[in-house]
Structure 1
Amino acid sequence: MNRELDDEALGELEVLIPNLNWRYSGGTAVNRTIAPLIASRWRAAWLGPDRPDGIAALTVRDLLRLRFRPPSHGKVRIWHARRNVEMIAGLFLNLLGYRFALIFNSASQRPKTWLTSFLIARMDALIATSEAAAQYLSRPATVIHHGIDVDLYSPPADRRAAFAETGLTGRYAIGTFGRVRRQKGSDLFVEAMCRLLPRYPDFSAVVIGLTTVDNRPFVEGLKQQVAAAGLTERIRFLGELPVEEVPLWYQRISIYVFASRVEGFGLTMLEAMAAGDAVVAARAGAAEMVITDGDDGVLAPVGDADALAAALEPLMRDPERIEAMGGRAREKVVERFSRDREADQISAVYQKVWARTQAP
């Protein structure tokens, strides 16, 4: 899969999925989830690091050769971007004569910078991951909710046995995954755990995610807070884990906390729900769209450690509720948020773009 594509394969390419971020991120995780399904429907290739199985690799040399390989299928090639840098790259390549149809996938729920607005105005089509995200775009967009691999993110056969593999104390674990920073509410999670864990000895907590160099003082402050509370053995900072280990940790925890202050969508919510975890989520990103409060999850105000602790405590007090809530969450994700549904809807956007454009 890493070897260069031959001339015939280059000519047949219909979709290019650039992943031009050299640090693993939520956008990369989304790309990795959906790219193999796009490749099962169209002749597609991945440009950049962290390529998943199931889609061909496009090298830089392949990209240069592609300039002189007109599409044999009679359609324009699609460049499906998810970041500013990928929109810029697509526009630059078109200046060099590639003539890609440019699609931008937007997840953020905040006003756009002048640069992002400039780039968006030059896209051939827009996709938004939620109705809220679409409201921040200056042009109409097709709303397509994220989907996940419900086979990869699935409940364990025995959650207690899965928990036992962690070496944590107690019987249950509460987790939060993602970059460890203020935007993600990592401090709110730690504050809530420092309050609640002394009252509930059956529970431990884990924080999984990347710590960047510029964010180390923030993370060290959290660790000092945990140490001061005497909870170093019960609140573990595991750092960034290999991608293949993350699904296992969803199976090992029982409650997942989504504490973000600002979020585009919140893919980890879906992953945790698919794994049968009870999810307690701040009303950020797509939480209010995904979760039915009190049924398949619990919602809390954004940026409020008191409210987060209050939302968590009933589940910790009555662990029997966790399994039932997680079961309903799993059912919802399988029904409404599978990656096959997302891939089909993205494919429909490709078809619309192809219907109104002509190949070189």
Structure 2
Amino acid sequence: MPIVSVGLGLPANLPQISILSLLTMSRFGPNGWRVWHARRNSEMLAGLALRILLRKRLKLIFTSASQRNHSQYTRWLISRMDAVLATSDKSASYLKCQPHIISHGIDTVEFSPTDDKRAVRSALGLPIGGKLIGCFGRIRSNKGTDLFISTAINLCRRHADLNAVVLGQAIGSNKAFLHALEQRVRTAGLEDRIFFRERVPFAAIADMYRALDLYVAPQRWEGFGLTPIEAMACGVPVVAADVGTFRSQIVHGETGFIVAPGSASKITDAVEVLLLDHKQRAEFALSARAHVQINFDIQKEAEALVQIYRRLMTQ
């Protein structure tokens, strides 16, 4: 099925059309209906404008990943959609309609294990020896970055062979939050063992996971959250807070551990268990990879979406 994306800052290799071309495209697709798939309020509104004001023959879909009550405005937009999707049962429970539930997936070829962590770390400029834990994503309080730093400081003090890396950006007011975390690391005298990376090339993201021995997802709140799946696909066990859909992603005691949210001590204890038990960590790594391949391969998500697209286009 021909599918293109539209938006700002999209990767160059992604099939896409310009925003301007939306205004000038024919009202009818090659086979009649087209599908407009939105993820945000602005995108739902744009789809409605294209259909109502410019008379484009569109079927409108919205995917909701959030786990919170929607505003009246959002509920109105959702009510105008031809189909509504949710990424989990939890997300579905906040919707007033009965959505299709389709979990997100990832490319398990791109996100795959390595046989040589030392070489990967060397290429990324990370410490080659010892153990490495990581936390990736936006740097802000609700992502729990401070909980990870507390864990990293405590465990680095107890384990001389441990290093830690934070990968992510702080935007706007969260820059002060990041600076405070960096200062905590300097005060602890661990700036040569706890690293902050603002960004890496898109192609190197999978390598950042491969470099790790253990991934930590310390969020206080999360809508869906892909990072644990990406880590597990790379053969990296995960310790995650019980938020978002993490409990449905991680098999507790087989691919990682789920802990109470908001607790640095709980995260620290769970991480230390796996750091000290190489055999269990290796078993978790194998189970994690297999679990993602079976349950979270992006091909399953794509096939489910295309089925819905085809159904709408023939109605």
- Aligned residue in 2 for 1:13: none
- Aligned residue in 1 for 2:160: 201
Q: How does 1:155-166 map to 2 (within 5 A)?
A: 155-165=113-123, 166=125
- Aligned residue in 2 for 1:12: none
* 1:246 correspondence with 2:205: yes
What amino acid is aligned across from residue 275 of structure 1 in structure 2? C
* 1:84 correspondence with 2:37: no
Q: How far apart in 2 are the matches of 1:115 and 1:125?
A: 17
- Aligned residue in 2 for 1:39: none
Q: How far apart in 1 are the matches of 2:86 and 2:57?
A: 23
**1:176–1:45 CA distance, 2 compared to 1 (3 A):** same
Q: How far apart in 1 are the matches of 2:104 and 2:86?
A: 10
* 1:134 correspondence with 2:92: yes
* 1:351 correspondence with 2:310: yes
* 1:122 correspondence with 2:106: no
Q: Structure 1 vs Structure 2: percent identity of aligned residues?
A: 38
Deviation by residue 1:177-210 (Cα, 9 ceiling, x = unmatched): 1000111110110011111111111110000011
Could you say what secondary structure the match of 2:303 adopts? helix
**Which of 285, 299, 315 is residue 244 of structure 2 equivalent to?**
285
TM superposition shift of 1:254: 1.1
Could you say what secondary structure the match of 1:57 adopts? coil
Q: How far apart in 1 are the matches of 2:27 and 2:59?
A: 16
Q: How far apart in 1 are the matches of 2:175 and 2:244?
A: 25
* 1:146 correspondence with 2:104: yes
Asked if structure 2 preserves the Cα contact closer than 8 Å seen for 1:169 and 1:234, the reply is no
Query: Which residues of structure 1 form unaligned runs of 5+?
Result: 1-41
Q: How high is the TM-score relative to the length of structure 1?
A: 0.83
TM superposition shift of 1:54: 6.0
- Aligned residue in 2 for 1:273: 232
TM superposition shift of 1:56: 2.8
Could you say what secondary structure the match of 2:255 adopts? coil
Asked if structure 1 preserves the Cα contact closer than 8 Å seen for 2:118 and 2:128, the reply is no
**1:171–1:161 CA distance, 2 compared to 1 (3 A):** farther
TM superposition shift of 1:44: 1.6
After superposing the two structures, state which structure 1 stretch, 298-307 or 89-98, moved more. 89-98
Asked if structure 2 preserves the Cα contact closer than 8 Å seen for 1:206 and 1:235, the reply is yes
- Aligned residue in 2 for 1:319: 278
Q: How far apart in 2 are the matches of 1:234 and 1:78?
A: 49
Q: How high is the TM-score relative to the length of structure 2?
A: 0.95
- Aligned residue in 1 for 2:52: 95
TM superposition shift of 1:302: 0.8
- Aligned residue in 2 for 1:21: none
Asked if structure 2 preserves the Cα contact closer than 8 Å seen for 1:261 and 1:284, the reply is yes
Asked if structure 1 preserves the Cα contact closer than 8 Å seen for 2:69 and 2:94, the reply is yes
**1:54–1:339 CA distance, 2 compared to 1 (3 A):** farther
What amino acid is aligned across from residue 258 of structure 2 in structure 1? L
* 1:190 correspondence with 2:149: yes
Could you say what secondary structure the match of 1:80 adopts? strand
* 1:108 correspondence with 2:51: no
Deviation by residue 1:278-333 (Cα, 9 ceiling, x = unmatched): 11111111111111111111111111111111111111122332222111000010
CA RMSD of aligned residues (A): 1.5
Q: How far apart in 1 are the matches of 2:274 and 2:222?
A: 24
Structure 1 runs of 4+ with >4 Å offset? 52-55
Could you say what secondary structure the match of 2:4 adopts? strand
Deviation by residue 1:85-126 (Cα, 9 ceiling, x = unmatched): 111111122222123111001111111122211211111101
- Aligned residue in 2 for 1:25: none
Deviation by residue 1:149-171 (Cα, 9 ceiling, x = unmatched): 00100001212332344332741
TM superposition shift of 1:130: 0.5
- Aligned residue in 2 for 1:34: none
Deviation by residue 1:250-292 (Cα, 9 ceiling, x = unmatched): 1111110011111111111110000000111111111111111
**Which of 273, 294, 304 is residue 335 of structure 1 equivalent to?**
294
What amino acid is aligned across from residue 295 of structure 1 in structure 2? E
What amino acid is aligned across from residue 80 of structure 2 in structure 1? R
Q: How does 1:223-238 map to 2 (within 5 A)?
A: 223-238=182-197
Asked if structure 1 preserves the Cα contact closer than 8 Å seen for 2:167 and 2:196, the reply is yes
Query: Which residues of structure 2 form unaligned runs of 5+?
Result: none
Asked if structure 1 preserves the Cα contact closer than 8 Å seen for 2:28 and 2:57, the reply is no
Q: How far apart in 2 are the matches of 1:167 and 1:61?
A: 43
Asked if structure 2 preserves the Cα contact closer than 8 Å seen for 1:163 and 1:171, the reply is no
